[in-house]
Structure 1
Amino acid sequence: MMTDQSDADAELPRVDPIGSDEVDAGAFEGLDTPLLYGLLHFHRIANGVREGGDNRGFIDIHVWRSEENNEPYNARIMESLLTLVCFYTRDRSWNVYYGDPAVRARLEAAFEYWVGMQHEDGRFSEYGVEEWNLASTAFATKFIGQALVYLDDGPSIDAGLHDRVVESLRDALLVTFRHGELTEHGRSYSNQYSNAFAGAGAYLSLFDDPEVEALFERRLEWSLDHLQSPAGFFYEMDAPDWSYNLGTHQSNLLQAHHYLQDTEHLPQLVEKEERWADWVAYNALLEPADPDATAGDTPPDGGFFLNCAADARNTTRHRQGKGSPLHQYLPHGGAFSPSAEERDTWLAELGEDFEDSWPVIDDLVGDFSALSPYSFLHLDHDTWYPSGAERDEARERLPYVASDRFVHQHVDDRTDLVCTHVRRPEYYAIFNGAPEASSDQRFGLGILWHPDAGTVLQSRKDVRNTTYGTRTGPDDAPYEGSGLDIAYTLGDTTVDPEAGSHELPAGDSAPLTVEYPLGDAGHKSIRFGEEDIEVTVTHDGDFVESIPILASDGRLTVSGARVGADYGDTTLSVAAEAPLELAVFSTPRRFQSSASRRQSGVPSVARPIAVDKRLFVARAYSSDDLTYRLSFSE
């Protein structure tokens, strides 16, 4: 039941803090457990709502997004409306803010401000006054859509204001689905656009709106070919990006699935995830858990090292599994999820962590995501976790685990990126290449894996001296940092890459050779053989070959023209045919065991990492020509 319009100029009451001595930490259960941190700091968020002036209602506290962008014109800041709504509407014995009049007054002021920020066509701004863009508009649909769902089940706000919030959400959805510039931008930054599918799902669960539904249906079908590569990844700067694909995209699909799972749109969501899961199955490599790593009370897990050098925006080199409701429809979807048993154990341990440290709780520190609205977005969205047996069976079906002989290609037809996957009994390697590269992408040998040792070589984007490749000097960008004119030969047959995901005929037996010029200075050939990988470089004058190796501290040796990396029962050898100058240096980047469950004070449901590897770079200094081999021995 709605109430009458409140006085927009009325003084806003302060929201009282709650002391830790007033809260029973043991009362928090399941997915509510992380809300304990938010509850004790909630008064600061609510009292951050400006009380007067032209910007009355702006949530003026740095807990979401970067400090330099914490400005009244930035609608992304106002996504914290969901935080206010969550505590105002969540009916729990511990929630003293449920239906609180002071919270309502500040929530209404914030909603008034958000509605007033909107362009008449439905767009919002982010980086400057009237600098309307897709991100601020489409993200708003997801967070405000979920806020309206919470309000539909909880205490009310002013009736007239509620109607205007609904209308603003509707306008944001319509402009996202119709506006040519927003749509074109979304083709390159698809995580932004697909927020609108989550927002539309929430909106249509509340309102019968044929116009919005028709546009949503058209854009959802359109997205299969325009937001997602035929190779399977979702476009970010027209390229892969693990950070957004594993983060924002999965959030969008989780919310969309919640509202669309019983509709005719479920097959489209499943198709999206199926294509994405195929990409992941070849490019996320299982890491054996370090048996000596400390992993808390739950079984250790090595997570996945990622083929990430072709990413264009962010660098994400290692991730743990993450649950998704869409995984239940896929043959190896469960491979990337924690098990249901582990999830239940971790949630119980989170509560124990809080109770053990009570009443001490982390401070609320200004940070990009010190108290992110994402903490309150998916509380009621069902996900899916396989049993431990189902998860292990799904991992056995991963292509590089199920088979030890194939050559497979993932090919994008927008930038002609080709990721070539070579599996032989001794190794699994991925080579990345395209005719053009963004300023951050790095091509060439991207990652090398062994069934027992895990990932032993990993290149990355964006850096000059720690990525794989050939350079004129140790601190110069590699030739592989620009576009490559690549020739692929399988046995005696030239391979012409085709868009999509394809197994190559004869890939189970014939050697693959990849060749490309090094600018105007030389030529490089990489031959993926039965037992080793042979690299041959010809170059006018001096050059440096850099090989990024992942290994534990103290496990690398340099002897003559050979670098060895010890992984217990397996050794990686990088050996040249002739003596040459070799140097190995370690980097600060270390993947290390961690049992931490907190990020910015908020507990996270994450399996403890059980990996202890550091990035080392082996450099071979040579002139005119060089041949070396990568191989494994016991």
Structure 2
Amino acid sequence: MSDSEQAKQRGGRVSRRAVIYGALGLGGLAVASQFVPDLRIRWREPLGELAAFPAPDRASFLDTEQVLAPYLMTAVPLANDIIGDPQAEYYGFMAGGWWRPPNAQTETNARIMEHISTLAWFAANKRDWNPLYRSEILLARIEAAVAYYTSLQLQDGTYPEYEGKPSLAATTFGIVAQADAYEALQQIGALPDAMLQLRRSIERAVRWFMDVQAKHWTPPVRVFNQVTAGLIGAQRALQILPDPPADQNAVYERISYLCAHGQAPAGFLHEPYGVDFGYNFTVTMPDLAWLYAHTGHPEIVPLVRRYMGFMPFAVLPEPGTGGLWHVPALHARNVTTSVSRPAGDLADRGALAKVFLDDVPSIALFLPTREDKAASREEFASAAGPVSELAKPHTSPRTWMYGLLAPQGPARAVREALEKQLPVLTSERFTKLESGSQKDQYLFVRRPSYYAASVFGDWTENDKSTRQLGTVWSPRLGTILVGTNDPDHPEGWETLGPDRAFSTRQSSSTSKYFDSRTSAGDHAINLDEVQDKTGLFAQRTEAVTDPGDYITGWAYWDQGLQFTFITDRAGECIQRIPVLLKEGDTLTFSDGSTFSPGDGDHEIETSTIVLERKGSRVLFDLGATKFRAFVKASGCSMAGGEIHRVGIVFEGELNVNIVFLRGSEPGSLQAEAHRHSNDDVSIRITISTSRARPVSRLKIRGTGVDTEIDVTGTGFRVFERTLTPSRPGTVSLVTTAHLEDGSVFGETEAAIT
């Protein structure tokens, strides 16, 4: 029995086209394969206009269906914007710019048509508040839209998105939208012709998607979210079609394949290849939850656990903001700043991920609490004004699809407990080095004074993710350095070569690691050994294009970091340091002058910069030489402050010592010491002196150690040495600072870690 005949028996609406097909004696499949592309041209009918209606009483919506209210108020203008003039070239196209970005509003962008699922839901579901149920005018407009939508399908079964070219996203998300529309029409036995077109479209698209030789299955799978959507489409086809193009075993096998080849060794999901919280959590995680709920596939939960084993390392609490913040440098596609966990149904795009709460409790970290959700829904129900339509183009049909299905979220107490268990709060010593799938490395270093999160390795043009140091956070000061992944505000730790020939922030490099304080020796360690380092180690990165472009060195001490940059290129380079300044912060330069938030652009020659925040200080030491420097507000807000670009102009080589200072008074002396695997001991000494009391000599003593360092100049100075004790048993080093007259300026003892 054909779809049209089945629809007739169910009392469905039969269009003039179905009568003509029957007279011609054409079977359903023949119609779909031979005539569908011409339907919107040959058999056009003028489309009537839907009348506007007053917004229903907010209290009439069930809590779990409140998400539909703004879609209901959008349905009339959305449907009326479907081109209904029979003489129009794009009859059936969903005009009006309701879905997808303004720059993507073309008649060949199939993604725009995904709202057939939204309109079909209102046409097929009876509610006291839904005046569109079985609306003949709405059904006629859906019919025209389906005909136009399916006519866009390309020969191989794909759909176009940009420039009429085949698109994985347009195809896979389209399958899901079409499946929902098909099921809704089937529910009320309406539009048999449209159902036929949708069925044939879904079959062709799923067949293309499930072809294991197709490019999107090439390992490693490049874009996880789009492939996941395709798997949902294939599963939906199994649920709704009489003769689905793929069986359950095939879908199971492809889920296994995706889990094996779509997740980086680090744990994040490829977007594309790199990290992206926006796609990983608000797009992919709900899709994985749907797949898990409908297939019970045993590899999905372990994949989610691995993901949640990685992401908390890229999240930081910020004192005074009451929230959590991402490390923006990691994220490849969406501009990323704060961790957003909105309770409102329209904004809660990751809602269905709550399915994983029982199996992966830590996922609650990124979800709104049940208390916040209840308060939001109560606020919606009791609000005085009418429900408004959605704002263009923020009308994703996925929001209502998953919002209707989402279970209850975590209790507030549970999420607060997880926030207190963030890695940066539960340990003051660890090193986590993780790898992506495309020679990208993610380095997280926690030491007593700070936490540094960085990305190294290959960089892909057009990715928003950046390279080198991303964020430096302190348990006392909060965030002090932070880069963005915003092309409109390109701030970050970055060295620009002469004539801007290269940028370390946007270029590829290789990394090596060393059990020493510098990367110049022969004490290289492998990647597994880096994970075991809880004390001092060093790193060297070299430009991939030409090692002469740049070499950078990093040393990870307990009290701060040391950075070295070297280039063979002649000319001025600029080192950019993204300092986050908050209200009340002060930058002090070596001449004693200062800069505070709100001051105008500042230029100075200096050898040191000291950031002071609420009585705590961090030093940026440039060595004995003064460099031309400038400070400029970026206009980019982050973590409760504003990023200020501090630029250092230099040639050839630059060394920057970052030291978290003990105490807030000048005239200080501090030191730290670390033992290496060959029993050498490295020490770093930071001293601040004045002209009134200039230090001339540092004496370092310990078991098997007795050495001196000559000191010239005043102000802040940082000294590093690697010592070879003459006999074993050294457990600490005592540093004594002597004035020019031989008297003692100060003394400090550093336990060797």
Q: TM-score range by the shorter chain?
A: 0.7 to 0.9
1:103 deviation in Å? 1.3
Taking structure 1 as reference, are residues 381 and 149 closer, same or farther at Cα in structure 2, changes over 3 Å only? farther
CA 81–397 in structure 1, closer or farther in 2 if over 3 Å, else same: same
Give the Cα–Cα distance (whole angstroms) in 2 for the partners of residues 347 and 375 of structure 1.
16
Aligned with residue 216 of structure 1, among 236, 251, 256: 251
Q: Name the structure 2 match of 1:225.
A: 260
Secondary structure of the equivalent of 2:564? strand
Normalising by the residue count of structure 2, what TM-score does the alignment of the two structures yield?
A: 0.71
- Over the residues paired in the alignment, what is the CA RMSD in angstroms? 3.0
Equivalent residue number for residue 28 of structure 1 = 61
Tell me by how many angstroms 1:228 deviates. 1.9
Instruction: Assess if the C-alpha contact under 8 Å between 1:409 and 1:497 holds in 2.
Output: yes
Change (3 A) 1:554 1:126: same
Instruction: Call closer, same or farther: CA 1:537–1:70 in 2, change over 3 Å.
Output: closer
1:427 aligns with 2:427: no
Deviations 1:345-380 (A, max 9, x none): 22323444xx24x14847x66x4x243323322132
Are the equivalent residues in 1 in contact too, given 2:581–2:641 (CA < 8 A)?
Answer: yes
SS at match of 2:424: helix
Confirm or deny: 8 A CA contact 2:512 2:540 kept in the other structure: yes
| Preserved CA contact (<8 Å) 2:538 2:555 | yes
Letter in 2 for 1:275: R
The CA deviation at 1:387 is 1.1
Q: Distance in 1 between matches of 2:403 and 2:282?
A: 16
Taking the aligned partners of 2:612 and 2:134, their CA distance within structure 1 comes to 61
Question: Relative to structure 1, is the Cα distance of residues 435 and 61 closer, same or farther in structure 2, using a 3 angstrom cutoff?
Answer: closer
Cα 1:136–1:485 change in 2 (3 A) is same
Task: Give 2:172's aligned residue.
Answer: 138
**Residue 283 of structure 2: aligned partner:** 248
Displacement of 1:114 in angstroms is 2.3
In 1, Cα distance between equivalents of 2:138 and 2:413: 46
Which residue is 1:235 aligned to? 270
- Structure 1 pair 327/572, CA: closer, same or farther in 2 (3 Å)? farther
1:621 paired to 2:630: no
- In structure 2, what is the Cα distance between the partners aligned to 1:259 and 1:213? 11
Q: CA deviation at 1:476?
A: 6.5
Cα shift at 1:468? 0.9
Q: CA deviation at 1:170?
A: 2.8
Task: Name 1:187's counterpart in structure 2.
Answer: 221
Query: Deviation of residue 138 (structure 1)?
Result: 0.7
**1:580 match:** 627
| Contact 1:419/1:431 (<8 A) preserved | yes
Q: Secondary structure at the match of 2:210?
A: helix
Paired residues of 2:511 and 2:540 also in contact (CA < 8 A): yes
Deviation of 1:477 after TM superposition, in Å, equals 4.6
Shift of 1:461: 4.2
Report the Cα distance in structure 1 between the residues aligned to 2:396 and 2:550, rounded to whole angstroms.
50
Matches within 5 A, 1:167-178: 167-178=200-211
Matched residue, 2:559:
531
From 304, 320, 333, the equivalent of 2:325 is 304
The alpha carbon displacement at 1:95 in A equals 1.6
Describe the superposition over 1:93-143 as per-residue Cα deviations: whole angstroms up to 9, x where unpaired.
2221122222122112222222332235422122234x3221211111222
Assess if the C-alpha contact under 8 Å between 1:74 and 1:125 holds in 2.
yes
Q: 1:313 to 1:359 in 2, by over 3 A?
A: closer
Q: Is the 8 A contact 1:465 1:546 kept in 2?
A: no
The answer to whether residue 345 in structure 2 is matched with residue 328 in structure 1 is no
Task: Specify whether residues 221 and 584 from structure 1 end up closer, same or farther in structure 2 by C-alpha distance, changes over 3 A only.
Answer: same
The residue type paired with residue 425 of structure 2 is V
Deviation of the 1:24 alpha carbon: 1.7
* CA distance in structure 1 between the partners assigned to 2:206 and 2:387 by the alignment: 43
Q: Deviations over 1:552-587 (max 9, x none)?
A: 245242322443445436444333333333322111
Query: Within 2, Cα distance between the matches of 1:5 and 1:284?
Result: 56
8 Å CA contact 1:57, 1:106 repeated in 2:
yes
2: CA distance between counterparts of 1:120 and 1:437?
32
Instruction: State whether structure 2 residue 411 is matched by structure 1 residue 387.
Output: yes
* Higher relative contact order, chain-length normalized (CA < 8 Å, sep 6+): 1
Provide the residue aligned with 1:568 in structure 2: 614
Q: Distance in 2 between matches of 1:351 and 1:586?
A: 43
1:627 to 1:504, Cα distance in 2 relative to 1, 3 A:
closer
Tell me, yes or no, if the aligned pair for 1:86 and 1:150 is still in contact at 8 Å: yes
Residue number in structure 2 paired with 1:6? 15
Match 2:123 to one of 88, 93, 103: 88
Question: Equivalences for 1:430-445 in 2 at 5 Å?
Answer: 430-435=453-458, 437-438=460-461, 440=463, 441-445=465-469
Cα separation, 2, equivalents of 1:473 and 1:554? 35
Q: Which amino acid aligns with 1:168?
A: S
Of 32, 48, 57, 2:81 maps to: 48
What are the superposed Cα offsets for residues 504-546 of structure 1, whole Å, 9 maximum, x if unpaired?
Answer: 45422x3121112464155322111111111223445532211
Kindly state the Cα deviation for residue 44 of structure 1 after the two structures are TM-superposed. 0.9
| Deviation for aligned residue 1:282 | 1.5
CA gap of 1:505–1:31, structure 2 versus 1, over 3 A, is same
Q: What is the rounded CA distance, in whole Å, between the counterparts of 2:455 and 2:132 in structure 1?
A: 53
Letter in 2 for 1:527: A
Q: Is the 8 A contact 2:459 2:467 kept in 1?
A: no
Return the letter of the residue paired with 2:312: A
| SS in structure 2 at match of 1:119 | coil
Gap change, CA 1:631 and 1:493, over 3 Å in 2 = same
Q: Deviations over 1:461-513 (max 9, x none)?
A: 47596221222369665234211132112458533236xxxx845422x3121
Distance 1:494 1:361 in 2: 62
Going from structure 1 to structure 2, the CA distance change for 1:90 and 1:176 (only over 3 Å counts) comes to same
Distance 1:426 1:349, change over 3 A: farther
Structure 1 unpaired stretches of 5+: 291-300, 592-610
Mapped pair 1:343 → 2:384:
no
Within-5 A mapping of 1:353-392: 355-356=383-384, 358-359=385-386, 361=388, 367=392, 369-392=393-416
Which residue type is aligned with residue 325 of structure 2?
F
Match of 1:558 in 2: 588
SS of aligned partner of 2:480: strand
Question: Closer, same or farther in 2 for the Cα pair 1:581/1:128, shift >3 Å?
Answer: closer
Letter in 1 for 2:15: S
1:507 matches 2:541: no
What is the CA distance between 1:149 and its match in structure 2? Answer: 4.5
1:271 to 278, 302, 305: 302
Are 1:64 and 2:99 matched, yes or no? yes
Residue 189 of structure 1: how far off its partner (Å): 2.4
Distance 2:492 2:130 in 1: 50
User: Are the structure 2 counterparts of residues 493 and 390 from structure 1 closer, same or farther at C-alpha, using a change threshold of 3 Å?
Assistant: farther
> What is the deviation of 1:175?
1.0
Deviates more, 1:403-412 or 1:447-456: 447-456
Displacement of 1:310: 4.6
Pairs within 5 Å for 1:541-552: 542-552=572-582
Q: How big is the shift at 1:590?
A: 1.6
- The 3-state SS of whatever aligns with 1:332 is helix
Gaps of 5+ in 2: 1-9, 18-43, 342-349, 517-521, 591-606, 664-753
Amino acid at match of 2:658: L
Separation in structure 2 between the aligned mates of residue 110 and residue 465 of structure 1, nearest angstrom: 42
1:483 aligns with 2:504: no
Give the TM-score normalised by structure 1: 0.84
2:286 is equivalent to residue 286 of structure 1:
no
Q: What secondary structure sits across from 1:139 in the alignment?
A: helix
Instruction: Report if the CA contact (8 A) 1:254-1:383 is conserved.
Output: no
Aligned equivalent of 2:148: 113
Q: Aligned pair in 2 of structure 1 residues 445, 46: CA closer, same or farther (>3 Å)?
A: same
Match of 2:246, SS state, is helix
2:120 is equivalent to residue 73 of structure 1: no
1:466 aligns with 2:500: no
Which entry has the higher C-alpha Rg, 1 or 2? 2
Letter in 2 for 1:16: A
CA 1:210–1:140 in 2, change beyond 3 Å: closer, same or farther?
closer
Describe the SS at the equivalent of 2:579: strand
